[in-house]
Amino acid sequence: MRASLIGCLLVVAVVLLPAAPAQAIPAFARKYGTSCQTCHVVYPKLTPFGEAFRRNGFKFPGRDEDYIKQEMVPLGQDAYRSVFPNAVWPGVVPTSPPLALGFNGFVGFHPDKSSAAAQADNGSRLTLGSLIEEAHLWAGGSFSEHISYFGELTFADGGAEIEHAELHFNDLVSAQHLVNVYVGKGAPTLTSFGAHSSYIADAIMPTLSVTALYGTASGSFNVLGQYNLVEVNGMANGRFIYSVGATSGENIDARTAENVHGHLGFKLGGMRLDGEGDTTGNAEKPWAETALTVDVFGYHSVSRYTNAGLMMDLSDRANVLGANARGTGGSFEINAGVYQEWHDHATATGGAVKALAEYEELSYIVFPWLVPAVRLEWASLLPDGGSRITDLKILAGAAALVRPNLKLTLVGQVEHADGAPEGGWGAAGGSAAPTAASVTELESIQLGVAFAF
Amino acid sequence: MTAVAVTLAFPAPARAAEPTGTITGQVSTKAPKLRAGVVVFLDKVPGSFRPPARPVVMDQQGMKFAPHILAVQKGQTVLFNNHDAVRHNIFSPDNEKYNLGTWGQGESKPHTFGTVGVYHQLCNVHPEMGAVIVVLENPFFGVTGEDGTFQIPNVPPGKYTLKTWSEKLPERSETVTVTAGAPTNVHLELVR
C-alpha cells in the first residue's frame, strides 16, 4: 500500500510542500556577526555545526566569547568573581536587544474539492487566509560564560503563546559539555537533533495527541509538547548524549508533577555532537558528512483532561518509548523514528489504548538553497478490545531559500486513513475523515512562506 | 574597542654605553580580537633595573579605563586620573589588594607597585569598568597593538626567555637571542 502511494505521489510530483514555522534566530546572526548559513541549511534545519551550537546551550564550540562580534556591555568586570560574595557575580548584555522577528504562513490549494482538507476549508480551491499565519518574537543570547537563554513568543489568531523561555546553565563540571541544566519552558530533549529538523514539516517527530484524537477539547499531552521543565543533559566524548528531566505536563488543573523523561544517543562519524575538535569538515558543503546518529527515549506522563465521550475529568497515565535515527551521506540525509505510547484512560470511553507514531524523511541538498524531500508519517491507534485504525501521510516537496532569511516551501500531502478516531486525525497532523472503512486523498498543495530578521 | 598602549615603556639601556638590540614581533591568535593587549616581556633578565621616575597614567574617561592594558616596571608609579564628571573609584582585588578611594573630576591618585603580578583595576561605583596593570621585574616589555605587533627596544645582547601575558589566553614562552644593532623578529602564536 505504501509503495503504491509513493508511486502515486511521485506522479503527482509537483513536489513541494507546506512551510514550517520559521525557527531561525537572527539575534544569533547579529551576536556573532555571521550568516544564517553558519548554522542552517534551509532554516530551521540545522547543519552539524548548528546542531552542536544548539546542544551546547546556544554557544560556539571552544570558547564562545572568542566568536562574539556584537559589542557587549559588561554588567561587571570578570575580576569581580574574585570579590564575590562582596559583589554581584558579573554578566553581560548586548548593546542592542537580542531580539528577532519572524513571520510564516502558506497559500493552500486543494486539487480535490471533495477531500477532507478542502471540506474543512469550506470546499475552497485556493485559500489565502493563512498567507501570514504566525508571528514569532525570538530572543537568544547569554548572560555570562555559563548561562545562556532562548525565548520564543508565538502570535497567531488564537492569541500569544510562550513556546520557549529557556535558561541553560552550561558546563557545570570541569569536563566541558558533560553536565548542563536546562530550566524554563520548552520541549524536553528526546533526540540529538533540534525539534524542527525537517525541510517540509513543522517538526522532525510527528505529533500524536492521543486524548485529542479521541475528542478532548482540553489540553492533550504529546511528546513534542512545550512544558515547564527541569532537565539535566550533556555530552561525553562528543559522541554520547543524554538527558533526564521532569516536566509539568498537561493538566486542566494544578497537579503534582509526575512527568519524567530521559534520552540516550550516540553519533558515529561526522562532526562531534559538541562540535569540538576539527570543525573544518567539508568547506564547500558544511552540511555534508558521513555519519549515523541513533537515539532512544522514554517519557512517563500523567495528565488530567476532560474526556469528551464521558463528559468528565479523567487522569490518563501514558508511558512512551521511542527511537530516532539519522543517517547522513554527503548531501543525502535520511531521518527515521518511531514511538509507542501506552495510555490507560485516553479513549472516548475512558479506556486504554496503544498509539504508535512513525516517520521517515529523505532529503537531498541539490544546492545550498534548494532541498527536495519526501516524508512519510504513520499513526496508529489500537484501543483495548477494539480494532486498529491508522493514518498514513505522504509529504513531498522542497524548501528553497530566496535569501538566507527568506524561505519558500512547496509541499503536497497525500493521506490514506483506515478509520478515524472520534476527534478525527487532526491531532496527528491529518485531515482525512473516512466515512467508509478507508479513504485515500490528495489533501493539499501548500506554498509556504517564512521570513525572519 | 580595546584601548592598549603599543609600547608603554621605553626603558633606558641597562648600561648606557653598551650597544643594544630591539625585539620586534607579531602575536597571532585564532580570534583576531585577542591579538591586542598582549604583554610580551623578557623573563628573569640578570641585573637590577631602576624603575622610571616619571609615572605612567591610567585615565578614567568616558566611563572607561584607558588604556585597558598597561604594563609597568616594579617600583613604578601609576597616576590614576578621573576625567569624567562622575565620581570614580579605583580598587584591585589582586596581590597588594588596594583601594585608593573615590574621587571626582580632575583629581588624580598615584599608586606605586612594589610587587610583580597582574592587577585587575576595578571601579566599585561602575562595575562594568575594568583594566589590567601588569607589573614586571624589568623594563624589557611591550604591549601589542590592534594588529598584534609589539616592540621591545634597548635590550642588551644575549639569550633570553620571552614570555607573554594575555587577558584571555595562556602564557607562551620562547627563547630569543638579541644581537646589538639588529632587530630580532619573533612570531608568537597564542592558543588555548
Which residues touch B161 (CB under 8 Å, ≥6 apart)? B42, B43, B44, B173, B174, B175, B176
| Residue B62 sits at the chain A interface (C-beta within 8 Å) | no
| Choice between A9 and B52, residue whose per-residue pLDDT is larger | B52
Mean pLDDT within B28-55: 94
Residues B26 and B54 in one domain: no
Structural domain harbouring B157: 19-49+147-192
Residue A16 has pLDDT above 80, yes or no: no
What is the CB neighbour count within 10 angstroms for residue A152? 23
| Residue A277 sits at the chain B interface (C-beta within 8 Å) | no
Asked if residue B14 belongs to a domain, the reply is no
CB contact under 8 A, B168 and A74: no
Mean pLDDT, chain A, as a whole number?
A: 91
Residue B110's domain is classified under what CATH number? Answer: 2.60.40.420
CB contact under 8 A, B130 and A82: no
Asked if residue B1 belongs to a domain, the reply is no
Residue A439 has pLDDT above 60, yes or no: yes
pLDDT tens profile A274-329:
999 876 667 778 899 999 999 999 999 999 999 999 999 999 999 999 999 999 99
Q: What pLDDT score was predicted for residue A279?
A: 64
- Tell me what percent of the residues of chain A surpass a pLDDT of 90: 82
* Cα B11 from Cα B30, distance rounded (Å): 31
Residues B68 and B112 in one domain: yes
User: Which residues does chain A have within 8 Å of residue B130's beta carbon, measured at their own beta carbons?
Assistant: 74, 77-79
* Nearest residue to A411 via CA among A380, A372, A441: A372
Residue B188's domain is classified under what CATH number? Answer: 2.60.40.1120
Q: What pLDDT score was predicted for residue A3?
A: 44
Q: What pLDDT score was predicted for residue A14?
A: 34
Q: What is the dihedral of CA A186, A187, A191, A194, to 10 degrees?
A: -60
Asked if residue B142 belongs to a domain, the reply is no
Give me the residue from B93, B128, B129 closest to A83, CB to CB. Answer: B93
CA angle B77, B79, B83 (to 5 degrees): 170
Residue of B nearest to A86 (CA): B124
| Residue B33 sits at the chain A interface (C-beta within 8 Å) | yes
Mean pLDDT within A24-31: 85
Helix (H, G, I), strand (E, B) or coil at A51: helix
Helix (H, G, I), strand (E, B) or coil at A443: strand
- Structural domains for chain A: 2-452 (2.40.160.10)
Mean pLDDT, chain B, as a whole number?
A: 90
Q: What pLDDT score was predicted for residue A433?
A: 81
Range scoring the smallest mean pLDDT among A289-293, A333-337, B11-15: B11-15
Bridge partners of B66?
B59
The secondary structure of residue A215, as a DSSP letter, is T
Asked if residue B2 belongs to a domain, the reply is no
| Residue A72 sits at the chain B interface (C-beta within 8 Å) | no
* Cα A20 from Cα A408, distance rounded (Å): 10
Within chain B, strands assigned E span 21-29, 39-43, 56-61, 64-66, 69-73, 77-82, 88-91, 99-103, 108-112, 117-122, 130-136, 141-143, 149-155, 158-165, 173-178, 183-190
Residue of B nearest to A78 (CA): B130
Residue B4 has pLDDT above 90, yes or no: no
User: Which residues does chain A have within 8 Å of residue B63's beta carbon, measured at their own beta carbons?
Assistant: none
Residues B45 and B55 in one domain: no
- The number of residues in chain A equals 453
User: Which one of B122, B133, B169, B192 makes the best mutation probe of the A interface by having the most chain A beta carbons within 10 Å?
Assistant: B122
Residues B87 and B103 in one domain: yes
Place A65 in a pLDDT band, splitting at 50, 70 and 90.
confident
| Choice between A32 and A19, residue whose per-residue pLDDT is larger | A32
Q: Where among B136, B160, B182 does a domain terminate?
A: B136
User: Which residues does chain B have within 8 Å of residue A87's beta carbon, measured at their own beta carbons?
Assistant: 124, 127
Contact A380, A340 (CB under 8 A): no
Asked if residue B7 belongs to a domain, the reply is no
* Nearest residue to B125 via CA among B62, B57, B63, B81: B63
CA distance B155 to chain A (A): 33
Residues B160 and B190 in one domain: yes
Residues B116 and B78 in one domain: yes
Residues B172 and B104 in one domain: no
pLDDT tens profile A135-179:
999 999 999 989 999 999 999 998 999 999 999 999 999 999 999
Give me the residue from B120, B130, B192 closest to A63, CB to CB. Answer: B192
Asked if residue B8 belongs to a domain, the reply is no
Residue A436 has pLDDT above 80, yes or no: no
The pTM of the full predicted model, rounded to 2 decimals, is: 0.83
Residues B111 and B158 in one domain: no
pLDDT tens profile A42-57:
999 999 999 999 999 9
Cell numbers for B77: 608609579
Which residues touch A443 (CB under 8 Å, ≥6 apart)? A110, A112, A115, A116, A117, A118, A413, A414, A415, A431, A432
Place A348 in a pLDDT band, splitting at 50, 70 and 90.
very high
* Cα A346 from Cα A149, distance rounded (Å): 36
Q: What pLDDT score was predicted for residue A66?
A: 84
Torsion A322-A327-A328-A332 (CA) sign: negative
Q: What pLDDT score was predicted for residue A426?
A: 92
CA distance A279 to chain B (A): 14
CA distance A277 to chain B (A): 12
Residues B58 and B88 in one domain: yes
* Cα A345 from Cα A382, distance rounded (Å): 13
CB contact under 8 A, B93 and A82: yes
Give me the residue from A67, A76, A80 closest to B31, CB to CB. Answer: A67
Residues B93 and B54 in one domain: yes
pLDDT tens profile B136-181:
999 999 999 999 999 999 999 999 999 999 999 999 999 999 999 8
- The number of residues in chain B equals 192
Place A255 in a pLDDT band, splitting at 50, 70 and 90.
confident
Range scoring the smallest mean pLDDT among A11-15, B8-12, B73-77, B167-171: A11-15
CB contact under 8 A, A77 and B127: yes
Q: What pLDDT score was predicted for residue B14?
A: 46
- Tell me what percent of the residues of chain B surpass a pLDDT of 70: 91
Q: What pLDDT score was predicted for residue A15?
A: 35
> Would you call B46 exposed, middle or buried from its count of C-beta atoms within 10 A (0-12, 13-18, 19+)?
exposed
CA distance B95 to chain A (A): 12
Cα A364 from chain centre = 20
Residues B107 and B57 in one domain: yes
Q: What pLDDT score was predicted for residue B17?
A: 58
> Would you call A335 exposed, middle or buried from its count of C-beta atoms within 10 A (0-12, 13-18, 19+)?
buried
Torsion A203-A204-A210-A215 (CA) sign: positive
Structural domains in chain B (count): 2
Contact A393, A9 (CB under 8 A): no
User: Which residues does chain A have within 8 Å of residue B62's beta carbon, measured at their own beta carbons?
Assistant: none
* Cα A104 from Cα A156, distance rounded (Å): 10
Asked if residue B189 belongs to a domain, the reply is yes
Mean pLDDT within A14-34: 64
Residue of B nearest to A83 (CA): B93
Place of cell 531561525: A24
Q: What pLDDT score was predicted for residue A6?
A: 39
CB contact under 8 A, B130 and A74: yes
Contact A376, A4 (CB under 8 A): no
| Residue B124 sits at the chain A interface (C-beta within 8 Å) | yes
| Residue B94 sits at the chain A interface (C-beta within 8 Å) | yes
User: Which residues does chain B have within 8 Å of residue A63's beta carbon, measured at their own beta carbons?
Assistant: 31, 168, 192
Residues B25 and B84 in one domain: no
Asked if residue B13 belongs to a domain, the reply is no
* Cα B154 from Cα A449, distance rounded (Å): 66
Q: What pLDDT score was predicted for residue B2?
A: 45
| Residue A253 sits at the chain B interface (C-beta within 8 Å) | no
CB contact under 8 A, B168 and A65: yes
